[in-house]
């Protein structure tokens, strides 16, 4: 539930403007007294969205912008899915406002546009009474002709305010429009807030159309609308109807001009419709002659789309520290497509840019493999957008965006194969993780002449594969052609099969997805003797090892049980206390890991 706070700055700006210019108050009073009752046919308002950003977080995606335009259209035409939640008491006064919105397709100079302006700023944010957001020279973005376009600025707003709008006769043409905090613009389900469904913009556009808060910004105040109940104050959260105040029969807390949670709002009224249309007819009348939504004189020959994201698929589980996206693009235009811009990102981070070039005729597709992105969490959202086919505006941007959700286990795929010989009952194998010596997997009951294949997603750390043969003749080659192989993907880590009682394989995975096979290194730099041993094991180190710190030693039996764990400071380890059998020795020397096998007898 939302907490009580001043989420809207529109009335504060209006009060400031009237205080500074008393003439505005008389003009405002004239507007407030007018009620428009004539025909209110549909109107479509061209919208230009100015994304003023200083980092990746507030450089919102095209898809968020598209979602906001959709929310505006649904809310102002009462096609919103939650309209069914309107209490029966208010069903007789709810209204289709007959107001539509489009992202501008033509700019003030008559050129094609997608209605989105992106401006990188050196300002980390903007505040309510700060007009710098409205000017290029002060780190903002210049308004398009505010008589013919609804300008919406999206940025980082300081002070807890979610947005504001300029009322009619309450400012200049350069500042006329709506300002919205980036997190509250569009449908933003990744943002944990009661105001993440785009209703902040619906509310502020209501102010731009001269609608007041339903409580009149006074205790039991007047919003100059005849069919909204008088109520005591702003409502927060989502009240249960009827919530009574000011001797009414229930606050209209679900009205878009209250402060309720986004998922609680669902209506405008007939009275608010009359007031908004009065604003359009008497103050914003040039909207009716704007051609900002007109595409009739433009060729639709530039139209690219994303047909699908083929990797990762939705709800995929990926074992990798990186993701390698792949998409299918399509040329929907009659002209060949030679170039295309592709922007993509993970989890709202900075976009990565990649260009495509080729030759696609109409309705032809191509698969594009994008450069890798680093997985930094388990649950991920990949967003991909295409734009500027042949370096021109794509006039149909409804098909330019796609996204997918996937899960990543940040590690690396390791495959192990074990082919048994004629005497598989003599064999057991184990896969250990070194950090806690836990057994990841094992095979203790095996069938003759059978191929066992295992696939693991292993995270950062070192691992040891150990195989035992109680017959002391390995798994190759006197009694069958047994073997074992281990792979990083398609790359062989190591293999074996010809041994006596025990063989092992060790490898590590780093946090940069680099993998190291430790076996050859270990065999070449350290020896243990005698083997078999009775009382003491001696270590012989090659010249490249310098021991500056104690050696940490652990010994495991064939069942994976830890037998010895100790620190030694010489090259001798006493093993007289352990029973006869086959063992695996793990040694840590100056952060380097070593694995050896030996027999106690």
Single out the catalytic residue among 20, 74, 174, 204. 204
The answer to whether the peptide bond before residue 312 is cis (omega within 30 degrees of 0) is yes
What distance in Å separates the CA atoms of residue 117 and residue 106, rounded to the nearest whole number? 13
What distance in Å separates the CA atoms of residue 57 and residue 339, rounded to the nearest whole number? 28
What residues form DSSP beta bridges with 457? 413
Helices (runs of H) and strands (runs of E) counted in the chain: 6, 34
Q: Position of tokens 């680093």?
A: 374
Residues 6+ apart with CB under 8 A from 424: 446, 447, 448, 449, 450
As given in the structure block, the two tokens for residue 171 are 């400012």
8 A C-beta contact, residue 506 and residue 595: yes
Say if strands 116-120 and 43-53 run parallel, antiparallel, or are unpaired.
Answer: parallel
- Is 204 one of the catalytic residues? yes
What distance in Å separates the CA atoms of residue 89 and residue 249, rounded to the nearest whole number? 9
8 A C-beta contact, residue 68 and residue 185: yes
Q: What number of other Cβ atoms are within 10 A of residue 20's Cβ?
A: 8
Say if strands 352-360 and 365-369 run parallel, antiparallel, or are unpaired.
Answer: unpaired
What distance in Å separates the CA atoms of residue 497 and residue 86, rounded to the nearest whole number? 74
Rounded CA Rg of the chain: 35
Query: Which three-class secondary structure string do you get for 129-144?
Result: CCHHHHCHHHCCCCCC
H/E stretch holding 251 reads: none
By annotation, the residues acting in catalysis are: 204
């Amino acid at each position: 539930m939302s907490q009580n706070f001043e989420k809207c700055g529109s009335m504060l700006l209006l009060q400031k403007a009237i205080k500074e210019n008393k003439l505005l108050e008389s003009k405002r009073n004239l507007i407030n007294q007018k009620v428009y009752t004539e025909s209110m046919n549909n109107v479509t308002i061209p919208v230009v969205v100015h994304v003023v950003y200083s980092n990746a977080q507030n450089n919102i995606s095209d898809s968020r912008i598209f979602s906001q335009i959709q929310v505006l259209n649904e809310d102002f035409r009462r096609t919103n899915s939650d309209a069914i939640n309107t209490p029966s008491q208010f069903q007789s006064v709810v209204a289709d406002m007959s107001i539509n919105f489009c992202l501008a397709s033509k700019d003030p100079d008559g050129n094609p546009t997608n209605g989105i302006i992106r401006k990188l700023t050196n300002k980390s944010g903007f505040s309510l009474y700060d007009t710098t957001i409205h000017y290029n020279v002060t780190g903002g973005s210049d308004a398009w002709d505010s008589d013919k376009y609804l300008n919406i600025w999206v940025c980082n707003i300081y002070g807890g305010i979610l947005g504001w709008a300029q009322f009619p006769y309450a400012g200049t043409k350069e500042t006329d429009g709506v300002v919205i905090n980036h997190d509250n613009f569009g449908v933003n389900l990744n943002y944990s807030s009661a105001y993440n469904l785009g209703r902040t913009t619906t509310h502020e556009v209501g102010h731009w159309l001269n609608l007041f808060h339903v409580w009149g910004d006074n205790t039991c105040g007047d919003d100059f609308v005849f069919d909204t109940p008088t109520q005591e104050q702003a409502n927060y959260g989502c009240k249960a109807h009827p919530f009574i105040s000011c001797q009414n029969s229930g606050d209209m807390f679900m009205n878009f001009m209250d402060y309720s949670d986004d998922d609680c709002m669902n209506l405008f009224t007939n009275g608010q419709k009359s007031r908004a249309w009065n604003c359009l007819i008497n103050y914003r009348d040039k909207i009716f002659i704007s051609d900002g939504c007109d595409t009739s004189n433009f060729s639709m020959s530039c139209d690219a789309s994303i047909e699908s994201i083929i990797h990762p698929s939705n709800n995929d589980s990926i074992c990798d520290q990186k993701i390698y996206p792949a998409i299918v693009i399509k040329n929907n235009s009659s002209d060949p497509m030679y170039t295309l811009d592709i922007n993509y990102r993970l989890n709202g981070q900075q976009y990565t840019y990649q260009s495509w070039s080729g030759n696609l005729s109409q309705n032809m597709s191509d698969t594009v493999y994008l450069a890798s992105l680093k997985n930094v969490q388990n649950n991920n959202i990949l967003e991909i957008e295409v734009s500027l086919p042949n370096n021109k505006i794509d006039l149909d941007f409804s098909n330019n965006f796609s996204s997918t959700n996937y899960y990543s286990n940040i590690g690396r795929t390791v495959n192990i194969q074990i082919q048994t010989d004629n005497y598989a009952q003599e064999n057991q194998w184990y896969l250990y993780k070194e950090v806690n010596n836990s057994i990841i997997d094992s095979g203790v009951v095996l069938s003759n002449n059978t191929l066992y294949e295992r696939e693991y997603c292993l995270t950062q750390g070192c691992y040891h594969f150990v195989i035992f043969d109680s017959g002391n003749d390995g798994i190759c080659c006197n009694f069958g052609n047994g073997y074992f192989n281990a792979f990083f993907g398609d790359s062989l880590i190591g293999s074996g099969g010809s041994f006596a009682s025990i063989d092992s394989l060790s490898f590590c995975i780093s946090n940069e997805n680099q993998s190291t096979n430790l076996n050859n290194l270990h065999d070449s730099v350290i020896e243990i003797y005698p083997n078999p041993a009775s009382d003491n094991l001696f270590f012989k180190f090659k010249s490249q090892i310098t021991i500056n710190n104690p050696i940490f030693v652990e010994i495991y039996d064939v069942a994976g049980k830890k037998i010895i764990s100790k620190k030694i400071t010489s090259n001798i380890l006493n093993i007289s206390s352990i029973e006869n059998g086959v063992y695996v020795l793990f040694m840590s020397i100056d952060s380097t890991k070593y694995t050896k096998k030996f027999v106690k007898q």
